[in-house]
Structure 1
C-alpha cells in the first residue's frame, strides 16, 4: 500500500531523513528482511516521494551498515552472520564500557543528563504494551550515554555502527529486564562511581550477547570461535 505523502511531509525533518526513518523502522521490525532488495523506484512509489530523497536515505542507511550494495543485486538489507554479531558485541563491549566510565565522570562533574526521562519513556511504553517504543527508548538510553561523554572521537567511531547496534538492541524479547538493568546502570552513573558503572555496563553487554546469539543462531550448528 502506498504511503500517504501528507504524513511524510507533516514533519520538520528533511524528507531524506523521514524516508530513512521509515525504511529503518521496517528493517528493525522485520518488514524488510535481511537480503531483501530495496529498489529506489519502488520505495519512491511506496512513500509518494521522488527518487532523490530515497537515494540519499539509502546512502545514509548504508553508512550505518543496515543496507549494502551488491554488484549483482543492487541495494539489499544487510545480512549479519554469527561472526559479525560476535564482532559487533566485542566492539560494543569495549566502547560502551569506556563510554559509561567517561559519562559517569561527566555527571560527577555536574553535566546534565536525560537518562531519567528516557527510562520513564521506556517504562511507559512497556505499561502501554508498545514494545517497539520501549526498544526505541532503550536504544536512546545507550545513545545518550555516548553523547554524555562529550568525546567526539568516540562518537565518530560509533556513528557507522549505530544502525547495526540498534538492530541488535531489538533482538531482546524481555524489554522489562533490559529497563531494570538500565535503571541500575543509571543509578551507578549518577552516583559518580565510574568503576561500578563500567562493571555493570560490561555485565549488561555480555548477558545480552549470550541471549542475542541464542535467539538469532540457536540450532544453526555454528560456533563462536
Structure 2
C-alpha cells in the first residue's frame, strides 16, 4: 500500500518484493536471507532490509537466525496442520457469511477476481493464477462484512497466499472457485458449505503432494 501522493517507503517496497518472491516460490524454503547480501542485491541500505525481515517474521514467512540473517520458513507438517485447522474454521465462516450478505458490487469484484484466475490458469500463468486465487479468497472475506473476521484474515494473509501457492492444478482450483462464486451469487448457503468442505480437502491434498514431492 502506498502513502499519500503515491509514495511507498523503501522498507515497504522491500517487504513487498521479498514477500512476493517467497510466496511465488522464487525464494525457496530454507533459503538464507542475509542483510548485507540482500542490500547489495536490491540496491538499498541494510535498514529497510532489517525492517522487511522483521515484518516477514511477524507474518510467519521468515524464521529469524542470530545476528543479521534469517531463512525462508520451512513449514513443518505440524505447522500446516495447525494452519489448516484455523483456516478451515475461518473459511467456512467467511464463505457462509458472504453468501448471506453479498452485495451486487461485491459480487462484481468477486467475478473480476474469478475471471482473472480463469484467464491466467487457461494460459498456464501459475504466478498470476495463484495471486488471483488469493484475491478471490480475500474478496470473499470482505463480502462477509465482519470487521473482526477481516482483521483475523489480515494476520493470516501471507500464510494463506503461500498455502494457495501449493496448488499445481490451476484450472481445477479456478473451477472450484467458479462453483463457489455461483453458490454465493445464488445465496445458497447449504451448497456453499458443501463446496467449501470439498475445497478445503483439495487444498490439503495439494499441500501434502507438494510436501512429498519436495522430499523425493
TM-score relative to the length of structure 1: 0.84
Unaligned stretches of 5+ in structure 1?
1-10, 221-225
Match of 1:59 in 2: 54
- 1:84 counterpart SS class: helix
Residue 106 of structure 2 aligns with which residue? 112
Pairwise CA RMSD of aligned residues?
Answer: 2.3
1:7-66 deviation per Cα after TM superposition (whole angstroms, max 9, x unaligned): xxxx75333232122212221233322222212222121111222222222222112100
Task: Classify 1:215/1:43 alpha carbon distance in 2 versus 1 (closer, same or farther; 3 Å).
Answer: same
**Residue correspondence of structure 1 range 65-214 to structure 2 within 5 A:** 65-71=60-66, 74-107=69-102, 112-113=106-107, 114-214=109-209
Aligned length: 210
Quick one: distance in 2 between partners of 1:124 and 1:218? 27
Q: Which has the higher contact order (CA 8 A, sep 6+)?
A: 1
C-alpha displacement of 1:145: 0.9
Give, in whole Å, the separation in 2 of the partners of 1:13 and 1:118: 25
| Partner in structure 2 of residue 7 of structure 1 | none
TM-score (norm 2): 0.87
Contact 1:103–1:145 at 8 Å: present in 2 too?
yes
1:122-153 Cα deviation digits (max 9, x unpaired): 12212333111011101110111112222221
Return the structure number with greater helix share. 2
Residue 190 of structure 1 deviates from its aligned partner by: 1.0
**Is there any run of 5+ residues in structure 2 with no aligned partner, and where?**
1-5
